[in-house]
Structure 1
Amino acid sequence: MAHDVAVRRAVPSQGTRLVLACTAQLMVVLDVSVVNVALPSMEAALGLGESGTQWVVSGYLLAFGGLLLLGGRLADVYGHKRAFLAGLALFSAVSLAGGLATNPGTLIAARVGQGLGAAVLAPATLTLLTTAFPEGQRRTRALATWTAVSVGGAAAGNLISGLLTAYASWRWTLLINVPIGAVTAILAARIPASSAAGRGRERPRLDIPGAVAATLGLLAFIHGLGLAQSHGWLAPDTLVALALGGVLLAAFVLIEARLARVPLVPLRLLRMRTIVVGNVVMLLAGACFQAPMWYFLTFYMQRVLHYDTVQTGLSFLPHTLVTIAVGWRLTPWLMRHTDARTLVIAGALLGAAGFWWQSRISADTGYLTGILGPALVFSTGGGLLNTPLTTVVTSGVEADDAGAASGLMNTAKQVGGSLGLAALVALTATSDHTPRALAAAYADAFWISALFLAAVAVTALALPPQRHSAPSSSPATTAE
């Protein structure tokens, strides 16, 4: 009886953490895509120019992906609640600044600031779950909800962007974070503080040099990919930028292995096959399912099919609904009957098939065969892949390393999106802006994405089989 009472008392705390984690994660993932449909309006209002519009997208992704490892470690060192509230406060404040921006510099700086806040907030949301829910069916259900919000939120960003831009202003794509962040902070302040590494003893130092080397290395490398688009792959500027990025990333590895007292990526994590292989899979999948998919689809609909902002936003509704339905309902049920590796492979193959279908587009393709049909296939694959992959990558990790593992996983996903977008833009660049030429370029991007997902399926074969199940009488199987 006492055990039952304790379980009932624990459920509200877990439920509160789940709501907070999902709400904050929704803010983070929405801002990956929520500006996409609004970019033409931002450009017209502030005179961004072509390079400015690209930095509105990449500034967020670069700061987010480059500092995620440091953000994940902050939760381990200072406590999950403190990291959560700090990231939420920064994210909300710079969203306000961006929404009120009157010049390109302020808007781009705000987007970079959002990336900094997201780098602290995103790992804390996942750590809130992995420390509140023990491994097993209850954690699987929580992760399924968190993943459905993550993937569905990224998909919904385009729909929300179109509606806000058409009926309010592009500024509300950023300002919407302010009231949501305020309410979430009030609720988060009431949850018990978590333990922090170093409590009762000397607090370990943060690996600032490692974070700087990783961020600048990614920045230089992605800048080099951008130069390859405009100057050519063998141009001196391109080669210097790519080489500098490689040197800085090598320096990051050296710092982590030899110099850092508390590395952003503890070497013991890299001895785990699930961590290493799982994050490679996450990197490759992120190169397709993060920014690249939404970026090229948005421009295809607006530049080739000549959809307005509302039509573009509404066209993404099937992507959102299918991803949420599969990720939230179907995938957790399948995980009780099938090992995670099989679901990751199946999801990757479905995604590859969907992107191959998407690559068949032309300037004359209609909505049913050019947008809706492929969306149903690759959105099913994405919804099927994410929860089991997230479960694999975060399982078997000690509590003191939960933030680092979460940060590494999110880094792989966001860096994959950044690198994928930069590489696809460089590989499919065209000086011919006629609808037919643009459609062909976008089709090439989707074809390459299909190849990436085929590589995901092959790489996932190296994951160990992992299956989660629970007795039918367990509260985990009935909790909603």
Structure 2
Amino acid sequence: MTNTPDPKRWFALALLCLAAFMIILDASIVLVAVPSIERDLTFSNGGVQWVPTGYALMFGGLLLLGGRISDLLGRRRVFLAGVLLFAGSSLLCGFAWSGDALVFARGLQGIAAAVLAPSALSIVMNTFPAGAERNKALGIWGAVSGVGGTAGSLVGGPVTDGLGWQWIFFINVPVCLLVAVLTPLVLKDSRGPGRRGFDVAGAVTVTAALIVLVYAVVQAPVSSAGHTTLLAVVSAALFAVFVQVEKRSPAPLVPLRIFRSRALVGGNLITIAFGFGAFGLNFIYTQYAQLALGISAVRYGLMSAVLAATAVVGSIVGQNLVTRIGLRPVAAGSLLLSGIGATVMSRLTVESGYFELAFWGLTIFGAGLGAGCVAGSIAALSDVAGEDAGVASGLQNACFQIGGALGIAVLSAVAVANTSGSSPTAMTGGYRVAFAACWAFVAVGLIGTSLLVTRAANRQLQAVA
């Protein structure tokens, strides 16, 4: 990068955020459409769960590999390839003639997203110089991720009821074509210097470890404890092998030195925490509204709109506060605010009026989510060298997706374990406990917050403000 700022950098950010919003939204929007999909297509017993989880499995498992590929082959080139693959796989999803065909197409979508997300984020990092402008750009990026993780119900309900579930996939195609046309006009290409080799052994082991981990998480609610434990042990063993491979590799897929950064480790723990909250709480609220209360998908989308709206406001406020007071207080405050919102949600009953509890719970939770995603993104990426931008971006995106899969799996398991009967009152009892269990993600995030070095972060931010 030169010292002269790219005059098109804000247009580039808008384009990259559009692509990011699309792929994060695609992870959540399908949840609203699953009942319609199951009615129209033929699935084996329990097979419909692979429509949402197939995407998460490939997305979360291949992100690190996608990040390193973008470093080596050129970020704009890889980004454009991911956009075109996402468009093609979205068409396949919409035209799926069977359950198996849809699951296969969703897997392709996940692969495309795993290429798209880290290359887009690494372009952001290489377009904006370190300092206030990069913090602002990363803050906007974090806000887009947080809103995308909560807006699926708002968009998915009207589209599914009005046009049919196929259109939750078809709408991706014109967006992808627009991004593909504009990419050569507003994005500059870049790649990581040096290390032209490719770490095949590292790529295989870490990808296998992540896929097994994500699979264990998404299958936990329907698998035995022994099966889940076995998968967790296999994943841990593969991660151990990966570490040994990276220590010996002359061109490692993930340079282990990046984990010396307390900001990167802490930021990614915060990102995991808010992925847990964004997808987990939203999934439980979907179940409460549509199953316990029996409301339509469209009405549910309108009821949950406040969550996305306050996440946007929270992200704007959070970005400004990070520059003024530092990362640690913003991250800690955001986590506690989200925990308070979840506590309000835990008081819901089948007789609760929307403006009595749900509105305020979603408002408080959304504000914390927006600000927290901003703080996590900035912390995880602000201390990364340009040559490692792709892999660090892949790691941050992987943490959000794995956190989301963990949130859905854990909170749904908690709800099921605490539900006795099939009446709306019985189901709501389980959902109340699940909402309260969101404090687990607050605890994980606070551990990450403790790793952030406030004094050093504030010096850096104040020097460029």
Match of 1:254 in 2: 244
Query: CA 1:443–1:243 in structure 2 vs 1: closer, same or farther (change >3 Å)?
Result: same
How far apart are residue 464 of structure 1 and its match? Answer: 0.7
Contact preservation (8 Å) 1:70, 1:211: yes
**1:20-61 superposed Cα distances (whole Å, 9 cap, x missing partner):** 211110111110111121111111111346623322111111
CA deviation digits over 1:166-223, x for unaligned, max 9? 111111111111010001001002246423346xx78311x34333333433443454
8 Å contact kept, 1:37–1:313: no
| Partner secondary structure for residue 308 of structure 2 | helix
Give the alignment partner of residue 119 of structure 2, picking from 124, 132, 136.
Answer: 124
Pick aligned residue for 1:95 from 90, 93, 98: 90
1:203-242 to structure 2, matched below 5 A, reads 203-205=196-198, 207-224=199-216, 229-230=221-222, 232-234=224-226, 237-242=227-232
Where structure 2 has 5 or more consecutive residues not aligned to the other structure, the ranges are: none
- Cα distance in 1 for partners of 2:311, 2:33 equals 23
Equivalent residues of 2:266, 2:450 under 8 A apart: no
Q: How does 1:282-321 map to 2 (within 5 A)?
A: 282-289=271-278, 291-321=279-309
* Counterpart for residue 452 of structure 1: 441
Match for residue 413 of structure 2? Answer: 426
Distance 2:188 2:323 in 1: 33
1:394 pairs with one of 381, 400, 404: 381
Distance in 1 (CA, whole Å) between partners of 2:220 and 2:394 is 30
Q: Distance in 1 between matches of 2:394 and 2:8?
A: 24
**More displaced stretch, 180-189 vs 362-371:** 362-371
Aligned residue pairs, count: 459
Question: Offset at 1:231?
Answer: 5.1
Partner of 1:405, secondary structure, is helix
* Distance change in 2, residues 1:313/1:188 (3 Å): same
* Alignment partner of 1:15 is 2:10: yes
Distance 1:403 1:225, change over 3 A: closer
2:65 aligned with 1:70, yes or no? yes
Specify the code of the residue in structure 1 equivalent to 2:333: A
Could you tell me which amino acid in structure 2 is paired with residue 220 of structure 1? V
Please say if residues 274 and 372 of structure 2, whose CA atoms lie closer than 8 Å, have aligned partners that are also in contact: no
Structure 1 residue aligned with 2:364? 377
Query: Is 1:266 equivalent to 2:258 in the alignment?
Result: no
Partner of 2:162: 167
8 Å CA contact 1:140, 1:332 repeated in 2:
yes
Give the Cα separation in 2 of the matches to 1:211 and 1:99: 31
> 2:400 corresponds to which residue?
413
Give the alignment's Cα RMSD to 1 decimal: 2.4
Q: What is the TM-score of this pair, normalised by structure 2? A: 0.92
Indicate how the Cα distance of structure 1 residues 357 and 18 shifts in structure 2: closer, same or farther if over 3 A, else same: same
Helix, strand or coil at the partner of 1:170: coil
| Cα distance change of structure 1 residues 265 and 432 upon mapping to structure 2, 3 Å threshold | farther
Cα separation, partners in 2 of 1:23 and 1:228, compared to 1, 3 Å: closer
- Whether 1:109 and 2:113 are equivalent positions in the alignment is no
How far did 1:421 drift?
Answer: 2.1
Moved more, 28-37 or 453-462: 453-462
Amino acid at match of 2:315: G
On the 8 A contact 2:324/2:462 being kept in 1, the answer is: no
Looking at structure 1, the residues matched to 428 and 303 of structure 2 have their Cα atoms a distance apart, in angstroms, of 17
Residue 80 of structure 1 aligns with an amino acid whose one-letter code is R
Deviation beyond 6 Å, 4+ runs, structure 1: none
In structure 1, the residue matched to 2:430 is 441
- Structure 1: where are the runs of 5+ without partners? none
Kept after mapping to 2: 8 A contact 1:349/1:454: no
Q: Quick check: 2:266–2:447 contact (8 Å CA) kept in 1?
A: no
The alignment partner of 1:34 has SS state of: helix
Q: Is the 8 A contact 1:218 1:245 kept in 2?
A: yes
Question: What is the letter of the counterpart of residue 152 of structure 2?
Answer: G
The residue number in structure 1 matching 2:314 is 326
**Which residues of 2 match residues 142-161 of structure 1 at below 5 A?**
142-161=137-156
Q: Say which SS state the counterpart of residue 428 (structure 1) adopts.
A: helix
How much has 1:225 moved relative to structure 2?
Answer: 5.0
Relative to structure 1, the CA distance from residue 154 to residue 417 in structure 2 (aligned partners, 3 Å threshold; closer, same or farther) is closer
Q: Which amino acid aligns with 1:401?
A: D
Do residues 59 (structure 1) and 54 (structure 2) align?
Answer: yes
Closer, same or farther in 2 for the Cα pair 1:419/1:263, shift >3 Å? farther
Residue type of the alignment partner of 1:298: T
- The farther-off stretch of 53-62 and 123-132 is 53-62
| Paired residues of 1:358 and 1:371 also in contact (CA < 8 A) | yes
Shift of 1:359: 1.6
Deviates more, 1:173-182 or 1:437-446: 437-446
The answer (yes or no) to whether the contact 2:90–2:170 under 8 Å persists in 1 is yes
Distance 1:24 1:333, change over 3 A: same
C-alpha distance 212-442 of structure 1, shift in aligned 2 (>3 A): farther
Secondary structure at the aligned position of 1:134 is classed as: coil
Report how far residue 91 of structure 1 moved. 1.1
CA distance 1:172–1:351, shift in 2 (3 Å): same
CA 1:69/1:221 → structure 2, altered by over 3 Å: closer, same or farther?
closer
